[in-house]
Each structure stands twice: as structure tokens, then as C-alpha cells.
Chain A
Amino acid sequence: MVIRKFIYQLVEGTDRIAETIESLFIYLGVWVMVCLAFIQVVGRNLFSFTFNWGEDLLRILVLWTGFVGASLATRHSRNINIDVLTRLLSGIAARRMNFIVNLFSGIISILLLIAAWQLIRLERQFPDFISSIRIPIWSAEIIFPVVFGIISLRFLSNALRILLGMPESKPEILPGRKK
């Protein structure tokens, strides 16, 4: 019992710290994105002026904030799925299926992490550059292994929770639209 509680708190605590960092990143990223995109449009249309690094930076920001958003979607079980047959299951059958789905998702995420890592290793051997900001493409791609790593941990810890009969993760609840 004590061990179970310890595992639960360890997993939940780590996940919570990750969520805080991810949320902070998203918040800053989206603000830079909103302001920079606006400045670029106004500059281009009114003053025929844009930052030449602006568009590339925006693209990277969309990718990064989007993928971190996807990682948070996993934390909050908000991934898009079809889910027609789960409604037919109840009780222990639903729990078993949930375990299998989380385990499978965790394994696939690890494979995606490996694929991402292979890509980065390849690109580091023959680096290509994003010309306007003079950074190698692989450094923009680093988001893939990071996010797939976090996502796989989330799926696997969900599977572990179900296996040990522990309560499901309780992320800070996002209040629904109030009105």
C-alpha cells in the first residue's frame, strides 16, 4: 500500500512539474506568436517591411507550441479518438481495454521517439540550415523526441496506474467554458 502510494505520488508529481513547464512554454510561445505575426502583417502591408527571420521563427513556434499542446492533450486525455466500441464495455472489461490502449499507445510513442532520434542523428551528420535564423534544422526537430518521450511516459504511467488499481491522474481541471 505504501509503495503504491509512493509510486502514485512520484508519477503524479513528476507529471505535474512537466505540465507546469509545458504550460509556461505554451503561454510565452503563443504570445510571441500572436505579437510577431501581427507585426509581420502590419509591417508587410503598410510599411513594406518585415523581419526576414520572422516567418521561419513563426513556423517553428507553431510546431513547438502545437506539439507541446498535444503533449498536454495526452495529460488531460483530450486526444482525438473515435471511441465507438468503448461505450459498449463496462466495469472490468472497460478497465482492461483502457490498459491495453494505454500500453499500446505508450509503445508506439516510444517507437516514434526512436524514429525521431534516428532522424536527428542523420541530420546532425549532414546538417542543413534554416537560412534566415542560421540554425540547423535538427535543432528545430528536437521537439519531436522531447514530446514523444513525454507522451510515452504519460501513456505508460496511465497503464501502470490501471494495472495497480490506482486512481486515474487528476490534472488541474481546466474549467469548461463558463457561459
Chain B
Amino acid sequence: MITIIAAGLLVLFALFGTPLFIIFGAATLFGLHFIATVPIASAITEMYKLSTQGFLIAIPLFTFAGCLLAESRAPYRLVDLSRAFFGWLPGGLTIVVLIACPIFTALTGASGVTIIALGGILYPLLHQGQYPEKFNLGLITSAGSLGVMFPPALPLIIYGLIAGVSVEKLFVAGLVPGVITVIALGVYSVTESLKSDIKRDVFTFKNAVSSLRKAIWEIPLPIIILGGIFAGFFTAAEAAAITAFYVFIVEVLIYRDIKLTDLPRITKEAMILVGSILIILAAALGFTNFLVDQLIPMKLLVWMKQLFSSKLAFLFVLNIFLLIVGSLMDIFSAIVVIVPLIAPVAMSFGIDPVHLGIIFLTNLEIGYLTPPVGINLFISSLKFSQPVIKLYTATIPFLILLLIALGIITYVPSLSLKLVELAGVK
């Protein structure tokens, strides 16, 4: 009885904005002291264990690199480059949006800055290109949610850490599903822009070469991250070490976009982000350990097995559940809270943990856009000074397409797993 009251109170505290690490910490302390009746010091032992995870270092290093990129003029160079190469196509500017946003999201760790950082550049461009306003709003809000499945987005790393799955495999597994979501929105955007008479950019060789030259130092980045892992040269943690060092040299010493005097502020900004994630991970590990000791995942498994007769039914309910979770919680806490409970159940239904990761992330990224409370709807509403209701209607066609893509990604596991197998990533 007392456990139920305590759990109810903690949920209430969580919903009223108590930091999640406090909620996990409180739950662990309560469980250890009152239920397991062991010293509460073991909560901290689990926190320390977090530091023994070899690829934990990838989180601060990629985040640091992402913050440097976001503060530099890299977003402008990225937009110029994709515009020079794709702007002349029908619906060219929409393709630019759909290429630049996911790349930027992945590189900055999916911390919700894409709509703010790139929206300010892309929205006026679309407006100049005479695309309808409502369409522009829908496109930028949806495109700003994509990219969570491309390396080195932090959600991939965090999922790997929590589920005990190879981050390198996840990096590769997310590629095809990620591209599918981009193509789904791309086909729609191009068809829409063909309907209205929109002027296109003219392709000039000079322009292409000039934008290529400007971004020449940043173009190797995806090759370093992906190439190194694909070829088996290095692990995700090693890729992070090289990326952080390389981005520093390029943005601070070569482009000089970032002044040396700005570095302390940017470093602090990066570590505040890392710290807020890390402390949740640490506290959640303690809680998960307690749950496992109490055989909770096993009990949940038995219950779920009775509830769902087939894998398909389970996946369907999982999708709905995760869409709701994704619209209520931010992606990091959602992974930390839900994965330890659901992963054993999913595995018992024969779902590959790597595929499960991709299903999770696709759902959670769509959750960003799901009315009434998807966070990106609010970010866009603030950024572009538009009522949230208008964003609900503007994003609906995009949302429907993403849901179709989600169905395909969920029910065709080979889209996630085949490339991992072909590349032989371990």
C-alpha cells in the first residue's frame, strides 16, 4: 500500500516539473530502503558504474562538437551548399530544407535547436521562393524533427547505452529508415510545389564550386563519422574523439567563426546539456537495477505475454504508446524510462534490439510533432510567431506521411537490419 502511495506521489511530482533525476533518485532510495532493505549507498554504486561504460565519452565529445558547429556559420554553409546542388530541381528549396535539417539535427545531437537555428535561415528563403506560408511552417516543423536516426545523434548513443546494444550497429541501422522518412516528406513537398508555379534557382557551375569550396572543411565530417565506423577503423567513441578535435580546429582555427573568448561559454553550454542527460542516466541506472532485482521486468513480461497474442499486435500497441510518450516527454528521458521495461518484452516477441531502437526513435521523433503537446509545435509557434492551432493543421499532411513511414519501418525489420549485416558492423 505504502509503495503505491509513494509511486503515485512520485508520478505527480514528475508531472509537476520535478527534475527527472530527482524522481529516479527518490524511487531508488525508497525501493532500496523500504522494499529491498539494503543500504542506500548501493544507489551511488550504480551511478559510478556508468563511468565504466567505454563509449560514455562519446556523449560529451559529440555534444561539444555539435555546440561548436551550431555557434559557427556552419548552418549557413550547409544551406548554401545544398541550395547550390539541389535548389534548381523542382521544389528545390524544400529539398534543401529536408537535407539541411536532419544533418544539422544529427550533428548537434538532437537537442532541439534545429528549428531555432536553421528555421531562421530557411523560413525567409522559402517565403522568398513564394511557397505558401502554411506549407512552409509544416515543412520546417516536420523537417526539424527528423535526423534523430542519423549518426552521431545522441538518442542513438543513449539507447545503445540503456539497452546494452552496440552503438556502431545503431549508427548504421538508422540510415535507411532515416532516409525513408526524408523521402516520404520529400515526395510530398516536391508534388506540392509542382502544383503552384514556383520559380526555381538556376544551377551554375560557379556557384556550386564556390559553395563547395566554402564548406570544404566540413564536408569530411560525415565521412569521418560514418566511414570510420563502416570500415571498422574505429569505434563510436573514437569517432567522437576525432570529430571533437577536428571540429575545434576547423571552426576556431581555420574558419575563425568562433572567437577564443567564446569558447568557455560554449564549453559550459555543452556540458550543461551533457550533465542534465548524464545525471538522469546515472539515477535511472540505479532505479533499473532495483527493478531488475525485484524481477519487475519479468513480471511485466508475463503480463504482456498474456495481453498480446502476437508480435504484430504488440508492435501496434507499442507504436501508439510511444507516440503518446514522445509527445509528452523529451526523447532522452523517454528512452531512459521506457527502454529498460519494454526491451525484455520486445525481445521475447522476437524483435531484434537494434530494430527496436530504430522503432523507438522513429516514434519519439514523430512524437515531437504530435498534437496537442508535441514540443516542436510549440518551438515553431514561438519562433515564427504563429498560433499553435495553425501549426497543428500545417503539420498534419507531414505527420500522416511520417506515420506511414513509421508503419513501414516497424513492420519491415530488414530496412534497419540488412545494412548492419551487409556492412558487417560489430
Chain A residues within CB distance 8 Å of chain B: 23, 26-27, 30-31, 33-35, 37-38, 40-41, 44-45, 55, 58-60, 62-63, 65-74, 76, 78-86, 97-98, 100-101, 104-105, 108-109, 111-112, 114-116, 118-119, 122, 137, 140-141, 144, 174-179
Q: Does B402 contact A (CB under 8 A)?
A: no
Q: Are A137 and B245 in contact (CB under 8 A)?
A: no
Q: Are B272 and A72 in contact (CB under 8 A)?
A: yes
Task: Name B373's closest neighbour in chain A (CB-CB).
Answer: A84
| B419 nearest CB across to chain A (Å) | 24
**Residues on A with beta carbons closer than 8 Å to the beta carbon of B280:** 80
CA distance A59 to B21 in the complex (A): 21
Q: Are A27 and B268 in contact (CB under 8 A)?
A: yes
Q: Does B366 contact A (CB under 8 A)?
A: no
Chain B residues within CB distance 8 Å of chain A: 13-22, 25-26, 29, 39-45, 47-48, 50-52, 54, 56-57, 59-61, 64, 70-71, 73, 75-76, 113, 116-117, 120-121, 233-234, 237-238, 240-242, 244-245, 248, 263-265, 267-280, 282, 328-330, 332-333, 373
**Residues on A with beta carbons closer than 8 Å to the beta carbon of B43:** 112, 115
Q: Are B234 and A108 in contact (CB under 8 A)?
A: no
20 additional A-B residue pairs with CB within 8 Å, beyond A84-B328, A119-B44: A30-B267, A33-B61, A37-B245, A59-B52, A59-B56, A67-B282, A69-B272, A80-B332, A81-B17, A84-B373, A86-B16, A100-B16, A101-B13, A115-B41, A115-B43, A118-B40, A140-B48, A140-B51, A174-B268, A179-B120
**Residues on A with beta carbons closer than 8 Å to the beta carbon of B113:** 177
Identify 13 residue pairs between A and B in the complex whose beta-carbon atoms are under 8 Å apart, listed by A's number.
A34-B248, A37-B245, A63-B50, A68-B275, A70-B275, A78-B276, A82-B329, A101-B17, A111-B26, A115-B40, A115-B43, A119-B42, A177-B116
- Residue among A63, A115, A122 making CB contact with B51, cutoff 8 Å: A63
Q: Are A111 and B373 in contact (CB under 8 A)?
A: no
By secondary structure, the B interface counts as helix
Most A CB within 10 A of own CB, among B19, B22, B329: B19
Q: Are B234 and A45 in contact (CB under 8 A)?
A: yes
Q: Are B330 and A179 in contact (CB under 8 A)?
A: no
CA distance A70 to B264 in the complex (A): 17
CA distance A35 to B20 in the complex (A): 32
Q: Are B276 and A80 in contact (CB under 8 A)?
A: yes
- Residue among A40, A68, A74, A105 making CB contact with B241, cutoff 8 Å: A40
**Residues on A with beta carbons closer than 8 Å to the beta carbon of B13:** 101, 104
- Residue among B26, B51, B245 making CB contact with A34, cutoff 8 Å: B245
- Residue among A38, A70, A176 making CB contact with B276, cutoff 8 Å: A70
CA distance A66 to B276 in the complex (A): 8
**Residues on A with beta carbons closer than 8 Å to the beta carbon of B39:** 118, 122
Q: Are A105 and B18 in contact (CB under 8 A)?
A: yes
- Residue among B19, B64, B264 making CB contact with A23, cutoff 8 Å: B264
| B119 nearest CB across to chain A (Å) | 11
Task: Name B275's closest neighbour in chain A (CB-CB).
Answer: A69
CA distance A111 to B330 in the complex (A): 26
